[in-house]
């Protein structure tokens, strides 16, 4: 990139796709990769996705494309439709790409960042669950952290993409200890499947709260219609960090990083501790 020139949004997203499809330096030579088991291959693929997307931060986007980088959702989806990495992951874990959410494989992890003051090892509880309501959402967020519950799907190799995002030793954002529970869904659930930037924009646009030209999801309204929303990898790859224009204003960027389900209603009958990493 020439000194001082900001990348256009489509250029930046095309470069993101190239980076996703490029073998990272820690992968073995191709002839050695052929000997990988399916589990090893999937682990490497989802680790690479999480690593690339974790670098697509707000500061990174501002540096590369300028503040408020805007992109057309259909064009963004078209670029990521040719992403080889997403296609490879879909062969082994299609629910991460196209859904539906695997209701019986949802993992929730308590890290050192959200540890209880008492040090007690405690699963999420319904008594602490906050259902979105208009009274609580004075300024609704694209990804609110004080409402609902976030989970990620346990893959066939046992871990969710959250665990991959944490890294092998943790970080300042996700310090150890980690305690992971598998949550049992107690009924049929209605989950909105969001499989791309176009679907995300339409989902927000038709369930929006608008303030000062900013269009955000009306989570209280969404909670009356759905139990949760499932954020898949094509959406994350195509939309992370970008603004989207609508007739009523701009949808600000979200930073989901990895496959996630945001539950806006409590749907769980029990939990089982499946891993403790101290």
Query: Is the distance from CB of 266 to CB of 116 less than 8 angstroms?
Result: no
The pLDDT value recorded for residue 9 is 95
Convert the pLDDT of each residue in 145-185 to its tens digit. Answer: 889 999 999 999 999 999 999 887 777 788 888 999 999 99
Average pLDDT over residues 202-226: 95
The pLDDT value recorded for residue 113 is 75
Contacts of 274 (CB under 8 A, 6+ apart): 107, 154, 180, 181, 182
Q: 146 phi and psi, to 5 degrees?
A: -110, 10
Distance CA 82, CA 140 (A): 34
DSSP-derived letter for residue 89 is: H
The pLDDT value recorded for residue 7 is 83
**Is 123 within a domain?**
no
Q: Is the pLDDT confidence value at 23 over 60?
A: yes
Range of the domain at 38: 9-116+128-277
Structure tokens at 244: 């989207």
Contacts of 14 (CB under 8 A, 6+ apart): 79
Query: Is the distance from CB of 161 to CB of 84 less than 8 angstroms?
Result: no
pTM: 0.93
**pLDDT confidence tier of residue 3, bands split at 50, 70 and 90:** very low
**Is 190 within a domain?**
yes
Convert the pLDDT of each residue in 242-265 to its tens digit. Answer: 999 999 999 999 999 999 999 999
Range in 22-26, 139-143, 146-150 the model is least confident about: 139-143
**pLDDT confidence tier of residue 136, bands split at 50, 70 and 90:** low
Q: Strand runs (DSSP E) across the chain, as ranges?
A: 106-110, 149-153, 178-185, 191-194, 208-211, 214-217, 228-231, 244-246, 249-251, 260-263, 268-277
**Is 3 within a domain?**
no
Q: What is the DSSP string of 172-198?
A: SSSPSPEEEEEEEE-S---EEEE-SHH
Distance CA 176, CA 192 (A): 32
The C-alpha R_g of the chain, in whole angstroms, comes to 19
Convert the pLDDT of each residue in 62-120 to its tens digit. Answer: 999 988 999 999 999 999 999 999 999 999 999 999 999 999 999 999 887 777 777 77
The pLDDT value recorded for residue 258 is 97
Q: How many CB atoms lie within 10 A of CB 139?
A: 9
Q: Which residues pair with 218 in a beta bridge?
A: none
**How far from 59 is each of 8, 19, 64, 133, 165, CA to CA, in Å?**
16, 18, 9, 31, 19
DSSP-derived letter for residue 128 is: G
Structure tokens at 89: 């992951």
Please count the structural domains in the chain.
Answer: 1
**Is 252 within a domain?**
yes
**Is 2 within a domain?**
no
């Amino acid at each position: 990139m020439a000194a001082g020139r900001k990348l256009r949004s489509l250029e930046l997203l095309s470069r993101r796709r190239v980076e996703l499809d490029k073998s990272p330096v820690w992968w073995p030579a191709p002839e050695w990769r052929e000997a990988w088991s399916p589990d090893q291959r999937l682990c490497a693929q989802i680790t690479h996705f999480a690593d690339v997307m974790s670098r697509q931060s707000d500061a990174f986007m501002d540096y590369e494309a300028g503040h408020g980088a805007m992109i057309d959702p259909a064009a963004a989806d078209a670029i990521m439709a040719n992403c080889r990495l997403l296609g490879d992951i879909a062969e082994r874990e299609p629910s991460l790409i196209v859904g539906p959410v695997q209701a019986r494989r949802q993992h929730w992890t308590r890290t050192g960042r959200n540890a209880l003051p008492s040090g007690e090892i405690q699963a999420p509880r319904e008594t602490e669950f906050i259902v979105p309501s208009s009274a609580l959402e004075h300024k609704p967020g694209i990804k609110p952290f004080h409402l609902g519950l976030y989970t990620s799907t346990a893959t066939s190799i046992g871990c969710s993409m959250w665990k991959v995002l944490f890294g092998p030793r943790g970080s300042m954002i996700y310090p150890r200890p980690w305690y992971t529970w598998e949550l049992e869904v107690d009924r049929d659930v209605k989950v909105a499947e969001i499989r791309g930037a176009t679907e995300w924009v339409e989902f927000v646009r038709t369930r929006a709260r608008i303030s000062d030209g900013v269009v955000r999801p009306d989570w209280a309204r969404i909670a009356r219609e759905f139990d949760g929303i499932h954020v898949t990898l094509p959406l994350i790859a195509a939309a992370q960090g970008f603004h989207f224009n609508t007739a009523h204003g701009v949808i600000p960027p979200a930073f989901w990083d990895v496959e996630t389900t945001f539950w806006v209603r409590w749907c769980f009958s029990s939990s089982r501790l499946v891993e403790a990493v101290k």
